[in-house]
């Protein structure tokens, strides 16, 4: 996630009275929403905690039934949702449907059906012979009140993909949408109400970065944040001071490796879509491409040709493929990176300029070559409609360059040999690597999402994401409750010798020594059948 979506300030700044919803295509104020007052937090948290206790006490089947109602509510208002997303983000309607509405529906439907399997208590077998008299299992319990601080670039699908597992596991949710997309956040609250979740269980808190700081200061039981690295660091520090667990998704600088045997027509189309979808404002955007020398010229020409065909304009035009950037400041960051790269020898083959004829936030999709890792364009997250292509001599060089980044969210490998592609994928430092596709794993409910390094920690999606919403409890029942334990007090030299024999009976390299120790009445058996305990 780029640097502008959230600006978390520490300590809390004075409260803001209103939050404006602005159309990035025209900079017109679409609506104005009253900001949440931090003075209201005691009541907000009290309602959340009371609702959570009652909600967690319900049967899991009842919570799943509520998810099905939420799914139906989303479906019934799918056109309203797509309209709201396009208005506030500027993304084309096709992207609002595919990457937001469809993903939210699928996530909600999937977890409503899958949660009973994934949350079922799990038996824990005991391998140690000395502990066979015990029976153990794990249970999954809600954290309590979780805070979700969500971004603007996917203002519906990202928060819903975190809201749904939080609810089905029995938590209450305080959702702070981005101050850039407050209308979509309010719509999520309306859908929750339409699905008849208990009052107070999900509350939408509107405001800028200082509100996010206040939420953490108020002490939720866990925090989920999607946004910039700089803000993520401040959130981690604030959570650390209060020992609040967190999940941070802080974006990426995703690499795409194109090998000489790849289908260049398909790979180039994937590069153009992966680099420019949502105007390049996606944490999984293709930002760095490493292509083998022997096919580089053909691949680059295809990317340039396809980029020049893209239609730029407002989301109100159904044929538009590239909308505006969210705000002028984000466009300026892209320009700064391009200017610095050109000064260092990069070459812009197409694009690279604003489109003032369309509005202040429009920027041409851009293809850049002759790049290297001395340039900010190859090191820092761009979060704009730019793909940078570097020629490499071999797959090994491509892997080394792909791994030369503090980010590690996603990557892709393109080759005609799927087995080789999988082998290369395993060498790339990233949370997810696709072979012959890009970014679409995010729409796979069973696939985990998250990455190492500057991309954050923890997971969303998949069972790993569901388990981020619970506390794991281990329960152990002794099946011989009338027998005192051998390791209890009443220590003697004989007990120490017997304990040593027990260790020998379990771990001696020689089976002969193990059997001998086990047969020794004053040894291992003396521990198991010991009677002189306090």
305 classed as catalytic = no
10-23 burial string, b = 16+ CB within 10 Å, else e?
bebeebbeebebbb
Among residues 283, 286, 363, 355, the alpha carbon closest in space to that of 325 is found at 363
**CA 438, CA 434: separation in Å to the nearest integer?**
6
359-379 burial string, b = 16+ CB within 10 Å, else e?
bbbbbbbbbbbbbeeebbbbb
pTM of the model: 0.94
Q: Which of 95, 249, 321, 504 is catalytic?
A: 249
**Please, are residues 387 and 412 in contact by the beta-carbon 8 Å criterion?**
no
249 classed as catalytic = yes
Distances (CA, A) of 78 to 114, 163, 235: 23, 18, 33
Domains of the chain: 52-251+463-473 (3.40.605.10), 254-406+410-441 (3.40.309.10), 484-528 (no CATH)
**CA 495, CA 423: separation in Å to the nearest integer?**
53
Q: Which of 64, 239, 279, 283 is catalytic?
A: 283
* Ramachandran region, residue 359 (left: φ > 0; alpha: ψ -120 to 50; beta: rest): left
Compute how many other C-beta atoms are within 10 angstroms of the C-beta atom of residue 531.
9
Distances (CA, A) of 230 to 28, 234, 255, 335, 434: 29, 7, 22, 20, 28
Compute how many other C-beta atoms are within 10 angstroms of the C-beta atom of residue 511.
8
Per-residue pLDDT of the chain (534 residues; tens, 9 = 90+): 543 333 333 334 444 589 999 999 999 999 999 999 999 999 999 999 999 999 999 999 999 999 999 999 999 999 999 999 999 999 999 999 999 999 999 999 999 999 999 999 999 999 987 788 999 999 999 999 999 999 999 999 999 999 999 999 999 999 999 999 999 999 999 999 999 999 999 999 999 989 999 999 999 999 999 999 999 999 999 999 999 999 999 989 999 999 999 999 999 999 999 999 999 999 999 999 999 999 999 999 999 999 999 999 999 999 999 999 999 999 999 999 999 999 999 999 999 999 999 999 999 999 999 999 999 999 999 999 999 999 999 999 999 999 999 999 999 999 999 999 999 999 999 999 999 999 999 999 999 999 999 999 999 999 999 999 999 999 999 999 988 888 899 898 888 888 898 899 889 999 999 888 878 766 666 665 566 666
Q: Report the pLDDT value the prediction gives residue 3, as an integer from 0 to 100.
A: 38
**Please, are residues 424 and 411 in contact by the beta-carbon 8 Å criterion?**
no
Greatest Cα pair distance in the chain? 93
């Amino acid at each position: 996630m780029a640097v502008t979506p959230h600006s978390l300030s520490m300590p809390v700044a004075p409260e803001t009275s209103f939050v404006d919803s602005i159309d990035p295509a025209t900079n017109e104020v679409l609506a104005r929403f009253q900001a949440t007052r931090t003075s209201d937090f005691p009541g907000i948290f009290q309602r959340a905690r009371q609702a959570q206790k009652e909600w967690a006490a319900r049967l899991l089947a009842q919570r799943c039934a509520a998810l099905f109602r939420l799914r139906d509510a989303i479906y019934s208002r799918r056109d309203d949702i797509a309209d709201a997303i396009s208005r506030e983000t500027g993304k084309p309607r096709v992207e609002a449907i595919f990457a937001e509405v469809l993903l939210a529906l699928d996530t909600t439907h999937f977890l409503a059906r899958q949660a009973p399997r994934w949350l079922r208590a799990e038996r824990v077998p005991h391998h140690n012979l000395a502990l066979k008299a015990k029976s153990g299992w794990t249970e999954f319990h809600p954290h309590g009140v979780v805070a979700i601080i969500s971004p603007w670039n996917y203002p519906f699908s990202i928060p819903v993909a975190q809201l749904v597992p939080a609810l089905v596991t029995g938590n209450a949710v305080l959702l702070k949408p981005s101050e850039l997309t407050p209308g979509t956040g309010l719509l999520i609250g309306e859908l929750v109400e339409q699905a008849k979740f208990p009052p107070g269980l999900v509350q939408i808190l509107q405001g800028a970065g200082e509100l996010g700081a206040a939420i953490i200061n108020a002490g939720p039981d866990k925090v989920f944040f999607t946004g910039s690295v700089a803000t993520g660091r401040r959130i981690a520090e604030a959570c650390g001071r209060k020992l609040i667990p967190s999940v941070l998704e802080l974006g990426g600088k995703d690499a795409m490796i194109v090998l000489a045997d790849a289908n260049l027509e398909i790979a180039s189309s994937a590069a153009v879509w992966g680099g420019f979808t949502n105007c390049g404002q996606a944490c999984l955007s293709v930002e760095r491409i490493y292509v083998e020398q022997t096919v580089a010229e053909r691949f680059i020409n295809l990317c340039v040709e396809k980029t020049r065909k893209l239609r730029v304009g407002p989301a109100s035009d159904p044929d538009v493929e590239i909308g505006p950037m969210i705000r002028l400041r984000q466009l300026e960051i892209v320009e700064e990176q391009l200017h610095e790269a050109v000064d260092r020898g990069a070459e812009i083959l197409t694009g690279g300029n604003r489109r003032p004829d369309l509005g202040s936030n429009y920027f041409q999709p851009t293809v850049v070559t002759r790049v290297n890792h001395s340039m900010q364009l190859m090191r820092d997250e761009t979060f704009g409609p730019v793909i940078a292509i570097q020629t490499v001599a071999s797959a090994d060089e491509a892997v080394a360059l792909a791994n030369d980044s503090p980010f590690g969210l996603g990557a892709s490998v393109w080759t005609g040999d799927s087995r080789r592609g999988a082998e290369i994928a395993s060498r790339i430092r990233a949370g997810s690597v696709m072979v012959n596709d890009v970014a679409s794993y995010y729409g796979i409910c069973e696939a985990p999402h998250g990455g190492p390094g500057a991309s954050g920690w923890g997971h969303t999606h998949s069972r790993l994401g569901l388990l981020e919403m619970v506390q794991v409890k281990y329960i152990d029942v002794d099946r011989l409750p009338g027998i005192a334990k051998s390791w209890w007090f009443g220590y003697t030299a004989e007990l120490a010798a017997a304990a040593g024999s027990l260790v020998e009976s379990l771990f001696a390299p020689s089976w002969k020594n193990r059997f001998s120790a086990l047969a020794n009445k004053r040894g291992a058996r003396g521990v198991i059948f010991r009677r002189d305990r306090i």
